[in-house]
Amino acid sequence: MLSINYEMYVHKLQFKIDKDAPQEYMNRWIKLKTKCESGKNENIVNSIKKFCKIEENKILPYLKRYEGGLGGDNNLKNKQMRFRNGRVWGRMMRHVDNDIVIDEIYNSNVEKWTYEELNDILCAFIKVFEYNVQCEGCIRGCIEMIPHDIYRY
């Protein structure tokens, strides 16, 4: 399995709803986004783990940080992924969007994310998000890789 290239790239999981989705879907999406980015997302994370196919992803702990997410709480030992902090990002006008973002994906010295694990989690997120929004085929997700030398918050 190929570990993510943490030294060269910032990795994110980014999710979007189709721009032409009906307003009722958009309303549910915004509620879901608010829940994800407010740190009140443990139920969502637990649902995501149930849809994962890779066993290691299924047993990841809930990340007990303000943002919430997946991974162990020890920054030195555990790999982690965190939701974007909506309270911080919502104040920066250039970052106001309808996307749900996992914007902090970290390897530790001991545990490393693989692209297979990220893809498995990405697919599980989409299933859970589609269920919450009550739509099928209207949520898109991607693993975004941004070179460190051009990454700007």
Confidence class of residue 116 from pLDDT cuts 50, 70 and 90?
A: very high
Residue type (1 letter), 10? V
Q: Is residue 2 part of a domain?
A: no
Q: Is residue 1 part of a domain?
A: no
First to last CA, the chain: 30
pLDDT tens-digit series, residues 54-65: 999 999 999 998
Residue 1 has pLDDT above 70, yes or no: no
Between CA 145 and CA 151 the distance in angstroms is 10
pLDDT tens-digit series, residues 78-99: 999 999 986 555 555 555 678 9
Q: Is residue 97 part of a domain?
A: yes
Report how far Cα 21 is from the mean position of its chain's Cα atoms: 21
pLDDT tens-digit series, residues 6-44: 678 889 999 999 999 999 999 999 999 999 998 899 999
Residue 138 has pLDDT above 60, yes or no: yes
Beta bridge partners of 104: 82
Domain that includes residue 79, residue range = 9-150
Number of domains in the chain: 1
Q: Is residue 23 part of a domain?
A: yes
